[in-house]
Amino acid sequence: EAKPTTNLPRTARTNNAAERCNSLISNLILPFKVTLATMVINRFASKAISALRTQSSRGFSSTSSAEAKVAVLGAAGGIGQPLSLLCKLSPEVSELSCYDIVGTPGVAADLSHIPTHSSTTGSLPSPVSWPPRSNGGLEETLKGADVVVIPAGVPRKPGMTRDDLFNTNASIVKTLVEGCAEFCPDAMIAVISNPVNSTVPIAAEVLKKAGVYNPKKLVGVTTLDVCRANTFVANSQGLDPKDVDVTVIGGHAGITILPLFSRVDGAKFSDEQLEAITVRTQFGGDEVVAAKAGAGSATLSMAYAGYLFTENVLKAMRGEDIVQCAFVESSLTDASFFASPVKFGKDGVEEILPLGDLTPYEKQWFDKMMPELKKQIQKGVDFVSK
């Protein structure tokens, strides 16, 4: 049988063989290259996905989070829900514990879907039982709390004063603070429930009876008065509210609220303007009650103020220098409790700052306020002692 022959030169046949060899090697190596490239890409993709997941788990916080438990008592109410929402968003809060007589599990479930650092729980009062036992729901909420915020109570309606709220809200605050005395005696207690001029003394007397009263750990939240004063003066003077910090002293009701507008740098008022803005700050709550036409009182602004106060307290506990106005046991005046600038620290109230000089206009309001403030404080004391 004849053998096949080729007319190609020897050099051409050699080159052709080399090309076939290279092609064979390429076909063998190419899958390896693709596999290697895929492995590299997958590795970087995995790292990117992991980084995204980590970032997502941090939610809205752009700073390192602290470890602090905040309990909100009255968390399903008009103030309690937005206050709980803001606390859930705060990087200072690692555990948010909500309590109310109705609706709290739903509020907590809703909040728990927000991707932030803090966990959320919601508790209701334990059913009445025999033999009587402690309120397990309240105990679960308060155990281990660093700060307890109390917005619980009924809101004001048109024609009502804070004093009209006394009988209902006094009993609510008394019961809740008794729980604080039993389950978290070392926690900072921040009272929002009105009338603050009376409910804070009620809380003090309850804690004294339980033998756990610490004046450094009990405050009335008057931050809303500061927020209103800052807003009103900034609007009237064409200032940025962020650059304004009005000192507000006294109490947290009507004429017991005394904003010291004379200390606002760059602000100038006529006598009529000063009177108008002072009275508006004192009775700002009435403005909201009337505008809501019986549907409630200041809830959103109060929630924001309560959140600001709470977050500042937590920052102070971490070692930051914090000064803010608060209604505390005080020796600045002959009233046993008084709102003024207070320095907060790791253990609560660290220092009550000097009051400073008042203008003649401010002194007139101060003299008018003091008898009413002392009367409201005493009413709270008498409620517990009767």
Q: For 17-50, give one letter per residue: b (16+ CB within 10 A) or e.
A: eeeeeeeeeeeeeeeeeeeeeeeeeeeeeeeeee
Residue 121 confidence (pLDDT) above 70: yes
> Judging by beta carbons within 10 Å of its beta carbon (0-12, 13-18, 19+), is residue 268 exposed, middle or buried?
exposed
Segment 95-100 shows an average pLDDT of 98
Give the whole-angstrom CA distance, residue 28 versus residue 371.
97
Q: Which of 252, 281, 302, 335 is catalytic?
A: 252
Q: How far is CA 152 from CA 54, 94, 173, in A?
A: 36, 22, 7
Specify the pLDDT at position 243.
94
Q: Quick one: average pLDDT of 213-227?
A: 98
| pLDDT at 18 (0 to 100) | 47
Q: Tell me if 124 sits within 8 A of 101, measured CB to CB.
A: yes
Which phi and psi (to 5°) does residue 185 adopt?
-65, -20
Which candidate, 231, 224, 253, places its Cα nearest to that of 380?
253
Angle subtended by helix axes 360-385 and 196-209, to nearest 10: 40
Picking from 11-25, 150-164, 244-258, 307-321, which range would have the lowest pLDDT averaged per residue? 11-25
Write the pLDDT tens digit of every residue in 227-258.
999 999 999 999 999 999 999 999 999 999 99
252 is catalytic: yes
Spatial contact of 122 and 85, defined as CB atoms under 8 Å apart: no
Joined together, the tokens standing for residue 114 give 């927000």
Which of helix, strand or coil describes residue 28?
A: helix
CA distance 282 to 276: 10
C-alpha angle 128-130-135 in degrees, rounded to nearest 5: 40
Please state the pTM of the whole predicted model.
0.82
Residue 169 has pLDDT above 80, yes or no: yes
Q: Which two tokens stand for residue 97?
A: 């514990």
What is the per-residue pLDDT for 23? 54
Contact indicator for 74, 142 with CB cutoff of 8 Å: no
Instruction: State whether the Cα torsion 104-314-338-298 is positive or negative.
Output: negative
Distance, in Å, from the CA atom of 141 to the CA atom of 274, rounded to the nearest integer, reads 45
Q: Across the strands, what pairs with 120?
A: 96
What is the C-alpha separation between 223 and 188, in angstroms, rounded?
A: 16
User: What's the distance, Cα to Cα, between the start and end of the chain in Å?
Assistant: 130
What the block records as the tokens of 245 is 């910090």
Q: Are 286 and 308 in contact (CB under 8 A)?
A: no
Residues 6+ apart with CB under 8 A from 49: none
- Which residue from 87, 88, 81, 127 is spatially nearest to 106, judged by alpha carbons? 81
Say if residues 114 and 89 touch (Cβ distance below 8 Å): yes
Residue (of 184, 180, 183) closest to 193 by Cα position = 180
- Taking residues 208-212, report their average pLDDT: 98
Distance CA 177, CA 378 (A): 18
Least confident of 53-67, 107-121, 199-213: 53-67
Other C-beta atoms lying within 10 Å of the C-beta of residue 215: 15
323-348 tens-digit pLDDT: 999 999 999 999 999 999 999 999 99
Q: What is the Cα Rg of the chain in Å?
A: 32
Q: Which of 167, 141, 137, 144 is nearest to 154 (CA)?
A: 167
Mean of all residue pLDDT scores within the chain: 86
pLDDT at position 12? 46
Query: Strand 147-150 and strand 69-73: pairing?
Result: parallel
Band of the pLDDT at 118, cuts 50, 70, 90?
very high
Q: Percent of the chain beyond pLDDT 90?
A: 74
Q: Is the predicted pLDDT of residue 104 greater than 80, yes or no?
A: yes
- Flag the least confident range among 4-18, 37-51, 136-150, 343-357: 37-51
State the Cα–Cα distance between residues 2 and 278, nearest whole angstrom.
120
Contact between residue 245 and residue 325 where contact means Cβ atoms under 8 Å apart: no
pLDDT tens profile 25-74: 455 444 444 444 444 334 443 444 334 333 333 333 334 457 999 999 99
Per-residue pLDDT of 284-320, as tens digits, reads 999 998 999 888 899 999 999 999 999 999 999 999 9
Q: Choose the weakest-confidence range: 13-17, 74-78, 379-383.
A: 13-17
pLDDT the model gives residue 27: 52
